[in-house]
Amino acid sequence: MTILELREKRAKAWESTKAFLESHRNDKGVLSVEDDAAYSRMEGEITDLGKEISRMERQEALDAELRKPVSMPLTGRPDAMKADAKTGRAADEYRASFWNLMRSKAAMPNIINALQIGTDSEGGYLVPDEFEHTLVEALQEENIFRQLATIIQTSSGERKIPVVASKGTASWIDEEGSIPESDDAFGQVTIGAYKLGTLIKVSEELINDNIFDLEGYISREFARRIGAKEEDAFFNGNGTGKPNGILSASNGAQVGVTAAGATAVTADEIMDLFYSLNAPYRKKASWLLNDTTIKAIRKLKDGNGNYLWQPSLTAGTPDTLLGRPVNTSSFMPSIAASAKTIAFGDYSYYWIADRQGRSFKRLGELFAVTGQVGFLGTQRVDGRLILPEAIKVLQQHA
């Protein structure tokens, strides 16, 4: 079944679910216990279809990436091609040397010399350029926030970002009157780097088996583990030993609406959250919430009787809420007392700083008694919301 067919199937299921909801509400506007259970099953099918659509879209994107040509046609002289040969960590020699060492096959002096191109100060080996690109792509698949935020590269030290704290104004001037001074005030936001790491163990039999895709396995595991920890910090981090998240009480997003209930959200409150964000930010704004919260607001309507949530029928296009895209993450809190359950804003004002040079270390002896080899992967990353007013959140009543 194609993505378009799945989207059409989900849209039909949603129309059936709405019709069921309208026809089975009692005189008090609620469902009976049996009808509520039936509605939950129908809603569960919509959720499952949505997840399958997302999986197929990621698979389609990966297939397109893998189908790209891996070499360029010879259109000039051979000596001209050599002038564009990759050097440093992007060199083919370095890449081959790196993975030979990971499989414990490197012994020749030229191999070690090639690896010295990327030796870092901690004794590990910097990942070759092509593999590092694979890691970044995999992280974006696992981590929804990296697709929305602004990503910068830092080489060392802290990155200081100038921010306008307050803006000057113009004034009406009487004839021959003096023009009053009105300067902008500037502040700074500092982004550093926090260390994040994971240890992967692989059996010696798999490492020595050339058929085993060691590169792909480490890439996927690194993405899954690092991506989950990153995204959790980008949402809920408190800035102590990890990035400062958008939901942090300090330097996080501003509270746009406080819900009247501790365990419920109303259509009016979502509308209020939408308009609590200044108009310039709404142009690129989107919603962030978890699947449980989505289920809770699927029943909500606006003042004209239209459902706020609308499923997308176009491949690659997200569902919408009040006309703006909806993104889901399991790291957004569920509806509970005092929880910040819905975020709405322009997430490009959250900056993620990747310290250049992710590194791996091969631990050949540590797990020798169990016939395994360890691979220690580390990266340094930080994240900060540069302008808190660019994102508004809905907080449940205490």
Backbone angles phi, psi at 107, to 5 degrees: -145, -20
Higher pLDDT, 290 or 66: 290
* 122 band by pLDDT with thresholds 50, 70 and 90: very low
* 69 band by pLDDT with thresholds 50, 70 and 90: low
**pLDDT for the residue 123:** 47
Answer for the pair 305, 311: CB distance below 8 angstroms, yes or no.
no
Q: Count how many residues are written for the chain.
A: 398
**pLDDT for the residue 117:** 46
Read off the pLDDT of each residue in 132-153 and give the average, rounded to a whole number.
76
Answer for the pair 284, 348: CB distance below 8 angstroms, yes or no.
yes
Whether the per-residue pLDDT at 109 is higher than 70: the answer is no
**pLDDT for the residue 284:** 94
Beta-bridged to residue 125, according to DSSP, are 119, 360
Structure tokens at 32: 């009976």
Read off the pLDDT of each residue in 292-316 and give the average, rounded to a whole number.
87
- Within 10 angstroms of residue 34's Cβ, the number of other Cβ atoms is 9
Give the range among 34-43, 132-141, 167-176, 386-395 with minimum mean pLDDT: 132-141
| Span 16-52, pLDDT tens digits | 988 888 888 888 778 888 888 898 899 889 888 888 8
Read off the pLDDT of each residue in 61-85 and give the average, rounded to a whole number.
57
**pLDDT for the residue 159:** 72
Cα–Cα distance measured from residue 395 to residue 398, given in angstroms and rounded to the nearest whole number:
9
**pLDDT for the residue 129:** 65
Domains in the chain with CATH codes: 86-119 (no CATH), 126-164+184-290+329-398 (3.30.2400.10)
| Span 200-257, pLDDT tens digits | 888 888 777 766 677 777 778 887 888 889 899 999 999 899 999 999 998 899 999 9
Read off the pLDDT of each residue in 102-106 and give the average, rounded to a whole number.
60
In this prediction the pTM is: 0.74
Cα–Cα distance measured from residue 232 to residue 224, given in angstroms and rounded to the nearest whole number:
12
Report the share of the chain in percent with pLDDT over 90: 29
SS3 (DSSP) at 122: coil
Opening angle at CA 249, ends 243 and 252, nearest 5: 55
Structure tokens at 332: 């957004």
Cα–Cα distance measured from residue 238 to residue 167, given in angstroms and rounded to the nearest whole number:
29
